[in-house]
Structure 1
């Protein structure tokens, strides 16, 4: 994202500088040249503003997408952990049931 922004900014700056130099070296009246420079500066400012808005929108979109992906991953991890916890609890309950049965059997064997 940073390289794209720098590239676009470099292109815009180069275009603005090239246009300004072209106007300065063109044979024309001073007032006309100043007006052209002003117009070109305004145009460059608008292009930079549009580019900045576009980059901001892309960053917001990317951040939103990444947040959504992260939320989905966290939800998946929590869900998997919940299922695993249920499996562990079920296994422990079964072992406890087996131990109770063995204990009952041992108590019956002692009495008999």
Structure 2
């Protein structure tokens, strides 16, 4: 039996929803000190409801996404290690109808969260 492989990732918590991005794809994340026009909200880019204004107001950059300005979000970020036995392929029926950008896999053991990747 092959031992599980770990993936270094960043968990983004927006309200009650978690999202994961491989850590190698996250360029940087800064606390927002001054809001600039033209920077999209991460939740709107994902096509989901705006997150509650709890946690930190952050400016996230993921160069591989092609979104040069990065995104604003209210939430929490945490570096985590994901074991390959908690990462699952997106079921074909869900993949066919899903409009969530960059969805590549699901993470979890009981409840599932999106793993976003641009590679």
Greater RCO (CA < 8 Å, at least 6 residues apart): 2
TM-score, length basis structure 1: 0.19
Q: Which of the pair is proportionally richer in helix? A: 1
More strand by share: 2
Q: Please report the TM-score for the alignment, with normalisation by the length of structure 2.
A: 0.19
